Copies of this chain bind each other. A is one copy, B any other.
Amino acid sequence: MHRVIIVGLGPIGISCARTVACTRNLELAGLVDTDPQKQGRPASDFIEPAPPGTGHVTSNLNAVLDRDIDVAVVTTTSSFTDICPLLRQLIEQKVHVVSSCEQMAWPWYRHSAEADKIDAEAADTGCAILGTGVNPGFVMDTLAVTLSSVVTQLTAVRCVRRVDAALRRKPLQKKIGATMSVQNFSAWADTKRIGHQGLGESVALLAAGLGRTIPPGCVHETLEPVVATRPIKSALGMISPGTVAGMRNRGIWHGDDLTIELDLTLSVGLDDTRDQVLIEGPVPLDLLISNAIPGDSATVASLVNQIPKVRTVTPGLRTMLDMPPAGCVEGRPPLR
């Protein structure tokens, strides 16, 4: 049995809590969030039925850590710098971590020195700290590394992900600029208020899985709007032709003998949705996942399925390149 807390009760955190609550061998032992609107509310406000012992939502992490916790699922931020104080609290209490923090997919890409420090601190107390998710963490990086294990030479890896954001939650539609003018999109993109997080990390993780090290900042990233050519319904209202339906984010790296190219489009009303991994070389491979893996449920699954695994790997700051295949650990329907 693994005793688990959830830190961060946004949509992904709440969904993780619900999944943990009905997964065999996992025990939901606490909910943590700093939002005053959520503090003090009973677990049953979020999970129905709430497992006994989950208690109330609290902002006091240390109070929850008194409950003999094995693993914390952390879904609070995309930024490695922002998550570090929390990681240190958890490391100090010898609690393993699985997090959706996008920059943790390959923390050395933007925060090499700090990542080394966290790695050493976690190793010291015997915790494993893992960043994962579907993107970054699986479909544009780990899956490509896994596929590459059946070739002995390659010249390029190209991943394409095309997701219809109409099927995703409202905050995601906002994050990709849906309903904005093209002009506003550009201004917001420049100040990082919209866009996908973690594409550079995916490139760096994929490169590392192929034995290459990408120096910080050396992935060429672009972000463009996808402009609607017809009226499209969205959770934020109608998208008019000529305004923004979503975003296309590309990350490219050219090494001496290897090119990595990731091409991610998240847009409301998108067609030809898919995940694709193309390996170029003497034995080319073309892997296709029809309709693209649904992002929200897959992020939750990626986190929950790693809970038992993160306790088995060498302590330190870990990535998906350290993890044996997790597999779906549940296999039974939710309690209700």
Q: Is the CB of A152 within 8 A of B301?
A: yes
CB contact between A148 and one of B146, B285, B321, B327 (< 8 Å): that residue? B327
Q: Is the CB of A149 within 8 A of B285?
A: no
Whether A1 is near chain B, meaning CB under 8 Å from some CB there, is: no
Copies in the complex: 2
Closest Cβ–Cβ distance, residue A167 to chain B (whole Å): 12
**Cα separation A152 to B303 with both chains bound (whole Å):** 10
Interface string of A297-336 (1 = CB under 8 A from B): 1101110111000000000000011111111111111100
Segment at the B interface, from A71-79, A246-254, A287-295: A287-295
Whether A36 is near chain B, meaning CB under 8 Å from some CB there, is: no
Q: Give the dominant DSSP class at A's interface.
A: loop
Whether A68 is near chain B, meaning CB under 8 Å from some CB there, is: no
Q: Is the CB of A152 within 8 A of B324?
A: no
Whether A209 is near chain B, meaning CB under 8 Å from some CB there, is: yes
8 contacts across the A-B interface (CB closer than 8 A): A139-B150, A149-B326, A149-B328, A151-B328, A152-B328, A154-B331, A209-B325, A321-B324
Interface residues of A (CB under 8 A from B): 19, 23, 134, 138-139, 142-143, 145-154, 209-212, 257-258, 283, 285-291, 293-294, 297-298, 300-302, 304-306, 320-334
